[in-house]
Amino acid sequence: MIEGMKENLYQIGKRLKKRRKEKGLTIKILSEYTGLSVGYLSNLENDVNSPTIDNLSKICEALNCKLSDIIIDETPGKTVIRKTDWRINEYPQYNQEVGVIDFKRESQQIYEVITIKPGKVEAEPGWRHMFSETCTVIQGMLTVKMEGTVFHLEQWDSIYVPEHVKHSISNETDEICVTYWVCQRK
């Protein structure tokens, strides 16, 4: 594989979404232009699925861009990331706010600060990643369900989640829970 290509391929979805939004298109409209389903496009943008070259070509044609614009990330690695530069993702159905810290370096480590509010969630989240991750509880208590085993973690406890292992996290207390995650992407 070409030097740096593997790292670039991981973020295709992010670049597709950015390009789509720059063009002022909804996923539904992009779906109509490409003939690809809304669900498939959504999964691509969230880096859940990997596109085929044929599908990527259809998307690039609809977005009026070159394949290389999507595959090659020209963003240089960062040395310092300020709190104002974090990418914040809100998941109200899980009572979670996820702050993503991505230095865009060759190691492909991504750092996340996940804050979980107390209270019932609409649906229990469950994830299975293609990378391993570790979590340390900074504040409060965290419940981790991993392949049928339940772990209750207190402040400064840590847990390792291997790649491909289904897991979920929740806050079963009346106080905010703040966790720090290190995701080791390949």
Domains, the chain, in order of start with CATH, read 5-71 (1.10.260.40), 83-184 (2.60.120.10)
The mean of the pLDDT values for the chain is 85
Q: pLDDT tier at 143 (50, 70, 90 boundaries)?
A: very high
Predicted confidence (pLDDT) per residue in 52-91, tens digit:
889 998 998 888 888 877 777 666 677 888 888 888 888 8
Q: Output the six-digit token pair for 23.
A: 């063009």
Structure-model confidence comparison of residues 130 and 7, the more confident one: 130
Query: 159 and 153 in contact (C-beta within 8 Å)?
Result: yes
Percent of the chain with pLDDT over 70: 89
Report how far apart, in Å, the C-alpha atoms of 110 and of each of 26, 98, 106, 134 are: 28, 12, 11, 11
Predicted confidence (pLDDT) per residue in 16-34, tens digit:
888 888 888 889 999 998 9
Long-range Cβ contacts of 84-90 (<8 Å, 24+ apart)? 86/113
Beta strand extents in the chain (DSSP E only): 87-91, 96-102, 109-116, 132-139, 142-146, 149-153, 158-161, 167-170, 177-184
Report DSSP state, residue 46.
Answer: T
Q: What is the pLDDT of residue 66?
A: 81
Report how far apart, in Å, the C-alpha atoms of 165 and of each of 32, 103, 139, 146, 154 are: 35, 25, 25, 7, 22
Global pTM?
0.61
| Statement: residue 180 has pLDDT above 90 | yes
Q: pLDDT tier at 9 (50, 70, 90 boundaries)?
A: low
